[in-house]
Amino acid sequence: ARRLRAVPAPCPAAGVSQVTVRDALNQALDEELERDERVFLLGEEVAQYDGAYKISRGLWKKYGDKRVIDTPISEMGFTGIAVGAAMAGLRPVCEFMTFNFSMQAIDQVINSAAKTCYMSAGSIAVPIVFRGPNGASAGVAAQHSQCFAAWYGHCPGLKVVSPWSSEDAKGLLKASIRDDNPVVMLENELLYGVPFEMSEQAQSKDFVVPIGKAKIERQGTHVTLVSHSRPVGHCLEAAAVLAKEGVECEVINLRTIRPMDIETVEASVVKTNHLVTVEGGWPQFGVGAEICARIMEGSAFNYLDAPAVRVTGADVPMPYAKILEDNCLPQVKDIIFAVKKTLNI
């Protein structure tokens, strides 16, 4: 895929192996289908074709038609089936070929899944996972390039997770399937083929990543960078460049959009006194805007030595042309510029 730059470690530690995000997701689905007979997967092309992005590779042959179900091209229909199945006690994993298509089923996701537990006074749980690729891919233009983190993060009743690494992807998917609430899992198509280091522990069947807990990917003292999904990698690259100039960035991988781990961000801001948020979505009412508002409203605001800065996608529908597409998405140079701006260097 274009513009893809993984940052592998120079020498893997003992018991550590390289696993792609695609394989990590496949492991998680396989392990949860095996662990709990109530779990099933449905969506377009998930069964006989092994998934549009091969996330469900081999699962139909292993578990059969009742556990891995191909659906017609009707998001409203198969999402409604999945939500009803969750209300009846099953634990569906509902795959959207891209989250842009989840707009066809927005009534089922929000009005049927997210609100039912509240409206039934807690008597009806909806343990369902909505998953698939989110945000911009490469060369797919405006209809297929939105980031829905802010959209779904806005809605009470949902949990929203956004993995970056293979460890994130496997641990968050397993935690989402086991959760009794509807969870929206926003993956990134351009990360599917990227290998990341995974420890033996992360590859075990018992490994989960807690929903609602961020991870500090790099320790630093001068500025806090907060991001989620693919831009986490850009932040780490920018941090490596800035370190050569004497600027130490603390990089936080948010992992969960809702509920947001603002405590980890606050603790970092208290230490670094500067904040830059990075996301691929649009600026207005975005994830970065929410982080900045939470920091301003909390005690960490008193520790800021400069205004918080947001790095976001451009405020336009995604163009098709590659050079315009590149300039609509946050790049490493944009993060470096934002850090130098907030540090006044």
For the chain, helix, strand, coil in percent to 5 are 40, 15, 45
Q: Catalytic residue positions?
A: 75, 144
Token duo for residue 130 = 């909505």
Distance (Å, rounded) from C-alpha 183 to C-alpha 181? 6
Measuring CA to CA, how many Å separate 268 from each of 52, 90, 212?
A: 39, 40, 17
Beta-strand runs (E) in the chain: 17-20, 39-43, 68-70, 91-95, 129-133, 159-161, 183-187, 195-198, 215-218, 223-227, 249-253, 256-258, 275-278, 309-311
Is 332 within 8 Å of 239 (Cβ atoms)?
A: no
Instruction: From 343, 65, 6, select the one nearest 188 (Cα to Cα).
Output: 6
Handedness of CA 243, 231, 216, 169 (dihedral sign): negative
